[in-house]
Amino acid sequence: MSNSAESTAESSSANPFKIAQRQFDQAAEMLELEPAMRDLLRWPRREYKFTIPVKMDNGDSRVFHGYRVQYNDACGPTKGGLRWHPEETLDTVRALAAWMTWKTSVMEIPLGGGKGGVTCNPKELSEGEQERLARGWMRVMARQLGGDRDVPAPDVYTNPKIMAWMMDEYEVVTGRSHPAVITGKPLVVGGSLGREDATARGGVLCVREACQRTGIDPSGSYAIQGFGNAGQFAALLHRELLGGGKLLAVSDTSGAFYNPDGFDPEELVEHKRRRGGLSGMSGAREISAGELLALEVDILYPAAMESVITGANAGEVRARMICELANGPTTPEADEILEAKGVHVIPDFLANAGGVTVSYFEQVQGTYNYFWPLEKVHRELEAHMVNAYASVYRMHEEQKVHMRLAAYLVAVTRVAEAVRVRGWV
């Protein structure tokens, strides 16, 4: 491919939904899906775009744009988080809903995929304004949601407090108690133990399984791009579950930082809690975001946003394994380059599926009003992650394809079968 063609392809892949469709198309071609099935599975079943008027603290009103995409419900009610981000778009939500569809399928949990969001900067909103925005979103969507229809959860810049407001507003609108309509809630209103660290725990368990098959030392060096909730728990759990490891570099919105002697994960988490960011750590040398991604480490955890590893920088990646805790951090062009370099990539909708899996556990517990001890949550999550990784790795070996395509082949096969059984196509 010429440089100009590469540039065009990479530019077109900046749209996350086009990335999701390209990834699906590759799997559909290998599976030889019939045209109607392909058309059904590459587009959302339902999507909602709406406005949310909110009374601000100063008395003025401001209008926000909200979204919800219910991508596919052939395997069960749709499930997926709510993102509050200043650059949120309908195409971003579409892509994430598609990935959630494949995520629930690869985990073999009886759910479909959905996603929602609001275009806003929550850091600029007071707590009261956030509550009014959360309740306003729910008033618009309440009639389209439910434990048997569509179940939201927290995602970027949303949290258990916001989920509690939304659940409460849903119950105000419907006049009934429905704890299973929202997951990721505080424990006192029907949340599940084990939800807080579930995304990172599932990813680290995948790393453990991958190391057993690839011969990579799980207690070697690692780096984390994005030190939010998932990144912080990954730093802690990598050491706890894998028996050690040297954390060489981390990054957040305050910058990227490197320590050749390794960071102490507990100290990093405490520093971020106290200071609000990673800057100012002793023994840390600031590096660029690109330098972090190019470090020679055994395991790299991208745990921030989409499209950080692209055709332009994938050739510089020197990690032996990538565990994608973020959604969509690697573009299709980068996948081909990483595969050629022999980098073992644990794709996002497998690596970060621990979050939706424990959310599913919360939905189940809320439905029959009986809640599990933490040991059972961890045990059930580990069993699901081990089985899912084994299914994808087996497909990877049998079909001689990279791990992302293998995950798509597993997931799309299951959803397509549900569609056929229902008689939709």
User: Are both 123 and 214 inside the same structural domain?
Assistant: no
Which of 115, 185, 246, 272 is the catalytic position? 115
Q: What is the pLDDT of residue 244?
A: 86
User: Are both 170 and 215 inside the same structural domain?
Assistant: no
Express as a percent the part of the chain with pLDDT over 90.
87
Domain that holds residue 203: 198-351
| pTM, 2 dp | 0.91
Domain count, the chain: 2
CB 210 within 8 A of CB 346: yes
The CATH number assigned to the domain holding 101 equals 3.40.50.10860
The 8-class DSSP code of residue 309 comes to: B
The CATH number assigned to the domain holding 322 equals 3.40.50.720
Structure confidence by residue, pLDDT tens digits, 12-32: 447 889 989 999 999 999 999
Q: What is the pLDDT of residue 15?
A: 87
Please say which residue of 304, 326, 351 terminates a domain.
Answer: 351
Please say which residue of 351, 378, 404 terminates a domain.
Answer: 351
Q: Phi/psi at 135 (nearest 5 deg)?
A: -70, -35
User: Are both 57 and 170 inside the same structural domain?
Assistant: yes
Report how far residue 118's alpha carbon sits from residue 126's, in angstroms, rounded to the nearest whole number. 16
Catalytic, 272? Answer no
370: in domain: no
CB 69 within 8 A of CB 112: no
User: Are both 300 and 214 inside the same structural domain?
Assistant: yes
User: Are both 89 and 134 inside the same structural domain?
Assistant: yes
Please say which residue of 351, 372, 407 terminates a domain.
Answer: 351
Q: Which helix (H) or strand (E) holds 106?
A: helix 90-106
Give yes or no for residue 211 having a pLDDT over 50: yes
User: Are both 254 and 164 inside the same structural domain?
Assistant: no
285: left (phi over 0), alpha (psi -120 to 50) or beta: beta
Structure confidence by residue, pLDDT tens digits, 158-194: 999 999 999 999 999 999 998 999 999 999 999 999 9
* pLDDT band, very low/low/confident/very high, at 283 (cuts 50, 70, 90): confident
User: Are both 93 and 225 inside the same structural domain?
Assistant: no
The 8-class DSSP code of residue 410 comes to: H
Tokens representing 399 are: 């079909």
